């Protein structure tokens, strides 16, 4: 059984620039949770879209067979970091079927806020 | 590859009338995050549905090719502002394929609350 | 264009029994946001499923043409109220195509928490 | 009418290790809300995926006909507990059609945060 799709889109994207704590689990962040339940490693390319300039990418990440990677957009560095306090969106393309879910933890105030949505399966 | 659909629906809609802060990022708001990953500009019409009167619209917005717009329902003015503290829903129709995600930030209290859902792809 | 489906399912359901305030907008609640964007009134039947007893319903509600109803599960009374602090799920069947989104506001503490998900389109 | 699918995936997964309270309703938890609206009992197998080791499972649970089970990942014990403060993902396979929705309650701080997403229907 094939689990997932090879291309997903997330229209929401916003990393709050502030955090009440510097502990990694409490730093404001956005995550693309990627599940590769199949038997082959997945090579993944992420493109980031902005409001007022050309898209940026591809950012490359691998998710091995039968593994999940909860990728923080905060940690993307190459070709450039994802700017904070800036609206963006993303498209996630994979060589193998994957499942993608989007989560934000907003810790600008000490009681965190959370949101999550399954990404939109494109193809 | 075509990314998205030309019509989306969001059944939830409610802009809290209060906010603990007047800083734009902390004002209570609802957003339709729209991604146009394609090569042509998208002309978009939004219709707002209410509980007790005829729908309002179309509100018009453009999302250029390869851009995202995180449109705050708070900012819609023409043909009329979206009322606060009022239940509504929306249908978003585009000339080009787009992806739409719905987010609310509720800042009636100092620690914000968030919700998000991918819109429902209609056609 | 037909907007939506005639049957939707929500697997999550839980109305917290406590609220920090008795103002209606701050009472802990769960909502089925229903959009009927079509030209005919929709007659809707909701069935509630539980962990340890037979389902309850149908609860009946009408959503006129071109209207949205944000139906609080808290307000369902006939055939019986939905119990608080109890896990449940729901199936929402309509005579006309509708779109359904699920939202909870948890106000057991003064800073509310929110969650939302588009319901699952069944048919 | 068949309600749901026989296989679902949840790419997000993270049980916070801390909770401000030990009352069951306020312990930080993740839930797979499962609805079996059909007429036959569903035997379900859950597989948990990790970032750095082979998947774990199957965890087995039954959801009787016309019932919902809101299964806490916290409560899974066999073949082993789900580790806290650890990224994971899950695939939920059933002998009968079901609907699955994912919810987290994060109570590391006294004002809880919530997220929810419908799981991704695989097949």
* Residue contact A101–D49, C-beta within 8 A: no
Distance CA D102, CA D11 (A): 10
Structural tokens at position D61: 């649970």
Rounded CA separation B89/B108 (Å): 21
Q: Is the dihedral of CA D104, D105, D107, D111 positive or negative?
A: positive
Residues A6, A100: contact at Cβ < 8 Å?
no
Give the residue from C40, A118, A44 showing the smallest Cα distance to D8.
A118
Q: Residue D37, Cα to own-chain centre: how many angstroms?
A: 18
Q: What is the pLDDT of residues A31-47, one digit of tens each?
A: 999 999 999 999 999 99
Tell me, what's the pLDDT at A111? 84
Q: Does the model's ipTM exceed the 0.95 cut?
A: yes
Q: Region A47-70: what's the mean pLDDT?
A: 98
How do residues B52-104 score in pLDDT, each as one tens digit?
999 999 999 999 999 999 999 999 999 999 999 999 999 999 999 999 999 99
Convert the pLDDT of each residue in C24-69 to its tens digit: 999 999 999 999 999 999 999 999 999 999 999 999 999 999 999 9
Distance from C-alpha of B91 to C-alpha of B119, rounded to nearest angstrom:
9
Cα–Cα distance between A112 and B112 in angstroms, integer?
Answer: 8
As a whole number of angstroms, the distance between CA B5 and CA B123 comes to 6
Please give the Cα distance from D44 to D64 (Å, whole number). Answer: 11
Contacts of D99 in chain C (CB under 8 A): 9-11, 89, 120, 122
Measure D111 CA to nearest chain C CA, in Å: 6
pLDDT of residue B110: 82
Q: Which of D51, D104, D110 sits opposite A114 (nearest CB)?
A: D104
A interface toward B at CB cutoff 8 Å?
A: 7, 9-14, 16, 47, 49-52, 54-55, 85, 87-89, 91, 102, 104, 106, 108-111, 113-120, 122-123
The whole-number average pLDDT for the span A79-99 is: 98
Tell me the DSSP string of chain A: ---SEEEEEE------S--S--SGGGS-EEEEEEEE-SSS-EEEEEEEE-SSS--EEEEEEEE-TTEEEEEEGGG--SS-PPPTT---EEEEEEEEEEEEEEEEEE-SSSS-EEEEEEPEE--
Q: What is the pLDDT of residue D1?
A: 84
Give the whole-angstrom CA distance, residue B30 versus residue B65.
Answer: 23
Which residues in chain B have their CB less than 8 angstroms from residue A115's CB?
103, 114-116
Cα(A109)–Cα(B96) distance, rounded to whole angstroms? Answer: 39
């Amino acid at each position: 059984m094939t689990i997932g799709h090879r291309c997903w889109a997330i229209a929401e994207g916003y990393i709050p620039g502030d955090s009440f704590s510097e502990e990694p689990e409490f730093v404001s962040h956005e995550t693309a949770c990627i599940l590769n339940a199949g038997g082959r490693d997945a090579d993944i390319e992420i493109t980031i879209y902005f409001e007022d300039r050309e898209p940026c990418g591809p950012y490359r990440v691998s998710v091995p067979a039968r593994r999940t990677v909860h990728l923080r957009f905060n940690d993307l560095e190459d070709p450039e970091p994802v700017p904070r306090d800036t609206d963006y969106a993303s498209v996630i393309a994979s060589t193998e079927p994957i499942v993608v879910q989007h989560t934000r933890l907003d810790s600008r105030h000490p009681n965190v806020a959370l949101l999550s949505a399954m990404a939109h399966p494109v193809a």
